[in-house]
Amino acid sequence: MKIQIVVVASGIGYSVEAGLADGQKHFDHHGVHSVQPGPCNDDRISVVGDEVVEITHIDADTFVGLLRMAGRTLPEVDFNLMEKIDLNGSSVCADKFNPTLLYMVGVGQLARDLKFPRSSSDGPVDVTLIVEAMMAKTEKEIISIGQAATEESEAAYKNCKVAVSGKVGFWAIGPNDPLDPSRPYEDGVSVVVVYRVHYESISIYCDPRCEYTFGGKTVAGIEFAGHPKAAGSPRGVAITEKDGLSVFEAIQKSLLPRYEIAEENGKSGQVLTIRAEINLGLKKGYGGFLQEKQEVIDFLKEFYVSALSAGRSFVPVCIQQTEVVYAYPTDSGPFADAEPALTLFSDKNPLYVFESDEDWKKSVEDLTFRLAEKFQQFRVYVSYIPVEVKIFQKQ
């Protein structure tokens, strides 16, 4: 069996994970072939004689497919999990030291150690000897390589982090920092920007579960090409870490929710209007404050339900705890004290209130009188204050 790495499978001979799938000579499970099993998990693969087998890359799924074609002993790992990780990234496996995941990491690290080449537009590259060297390693040896690489990768994840904000993170790594770009997904980072100092390049990786894509898009003046969820800066163009930080900041800004002044019913959410404040004293003092506050809330809820049931409008309010500080003369001299109170306030909503200012004030005062009666107020203060209201709505 002769193994060649190519840009695109020719269709001649055999291929593994190279864009073709017929279940007989060609085996792939990506893109249009997603209904097919992964080569690692495909029992239809038979031993190949003196034939050419084309691949476009090397990873554990491809490697186990080649083991099947070579008639070699297969590793005793979970091929269903391997297939799932191959499709969705290592973040689907919470246990970073799972033997299957360690085997997959080990295959990748072994390929790098043996300087496995990339495909070339100049033509097929023979990688038979490198693959045979990989096959010479035992399952235990490959898992051991994977464990060492995972430990180093965790260190790179912690030590090479430049910035994380919300769902976006930025890492700057050197040639000896084996960062797994999907590792941040486990911590809620959906978009991972990686600057590689040794290549002077930037890559953007997106969690397969999120909606973000950057392949084919221009970010901070840099055009990113490749897979929609794994895109890189142009080859041959030197990129600086400062450029990488600009990409991170641009993505961070683009993912922020955009809010604009709301419009509804032909009305704008930005207007000069009035605020009503109702100052309500509490009879039970500090000791009964929480109880009485809840009684006010319960009263308002019942009042609003009654209004809706009768088809009447009502004035929704916000409630703030306040303190009333006062003093007055007594026979023994001036006396000062403080007691808890509630301030109920409401702005006349420019989107939903169609009453005139005077009619809205009448609604406020009707609510005030009901509160005053319910909570035994001798006097109750209502203030009307001119305010500018801006209602922002997510776009």
Query: Which one, of 291, 215, 212, lies nearest residue 252 by Cα?
Result: 212
Q: Write out the two tokens for 339.
A: 């007691």
Kindly state the average pLDDT of the residues 29-38: 90
CA angle, residues 356, 362, 364, in degrees to nearest 5: 105
pTM: 0.56
- Whether 294 and 234 map to the same domain: the answer is no
Percent of the chain with pLDDT over 70: 98
Q: What is the pLDDT of residue 286?
A: 59
Residue 366's CATH number: 3.30.70
Is 125 in the same domain as 219?
A: no
Six-digit token pair at 283?
């009879």
| Average confidence score pLDDT of the chain | 92
100 and 9 within one domain: yes
Do 103 and 225 have their domain in common?
no
Are 167 and 240 within one domain?
yes
86 with 187, same domain?
no
Beta strands at 318-328 and 222-223: parallel, antiparallel or unpaired: unpaired
Same domain? 209 vs 225: yes
| Residues 285 and 232 grouped into a single domain | no
> Which band of pLDDT confidence, cut at 50, 70 and 90, is reported for residue 35?
very high
CATH code at position 195: 3.10.310.30
137, 154, 171 - which closes a domain: 154
- Cα angle 103, 109, 115; round to 5: 140
Same domain for 234 and 120, yes or no, is no
- Same domain flag for 289 and 250: no
Q: Which domain holds residue 168?
A: 160-256
**Domains: count for the chain:** 3
Confidence check: pLDDT of 29 > 80: yes
Q: Give the mean model confidence (pLDDT) for residues 92-106.
A: 93
Residue where a domain terminates, one of 138, 154, 170: 154
For residue 287, the model assigns a pLDDT of 62
| Mean local confidence (pLDDT), 274-303 | 83
Q: What is the pLDDT of residue 288?
A: 59
- Position 364 scores a pLDDT of 96
Residues 195-236 have pLDDT tens digits of: 999 989 999 999 988 888 898 899 999 999 888 888 999 988
Q: Which residue has the higher pLDDT, 228 or 301?
A: 301
Reading the block at residue 251, the tokens are 């993505």
pLDDT for 209 equals 85
Backbone angles phi, psi at 118, to 5 degrees: -85, 165
Residues 114 and 50 in one domain: yes
Domain-ending residue, one of 154, 175, 207: 154
Residue 285: pLDDT over 60? no
| pLDDT tens digits for range 317-348 | 999 988 889 899 999 999 998 888 899 999 99
The band of 284, judged by pLDDT with boundaries at 50, 70 and 90, is low
Assign 289 a pLDDT band (cuts: 50, 70, 90): low
391: confidence class by pLDDT, cuts 50, 70, 90: very high
The tokens describing 100, both together, are 């299957």
- Per-residue HEC secondary structure of the chain comes to CEEEECCCCCCCCEEECCCCCCCCCEECCCHHHCCCCCHHHCCCCCCCCCCEEEECCCCHHHHHHHHHHHCCCCCCCCHHHHHHHHHHCHHHCCCCCCHHHHHHHHHHHHHHHCCCCCCECCECEECHHHHHHHHCCCHHHHHHHHHHHHHHHHHHHHHCEEEEECCEEEEEECCCCCCCCCHHHHHCCCEEEEEECCCCEEEEEECCCCCCCCCCCEECCEECEEECCEEECCCCCCCCHHHHHHHHHHHHHHHCCCEEECEECCEECEEEEEEEEEEEECCCCHHHHHHHHHHHHHHHHHHHHHHHHCCCCCCCCEEEEEEEEEEECCCCCCEEEEEEEEEEEEECCCCCCCCCHHHHHHHHHHHHHHHHHHCCCCCCEEEEEEEEEECEEEC
138/175 same-domain check: no
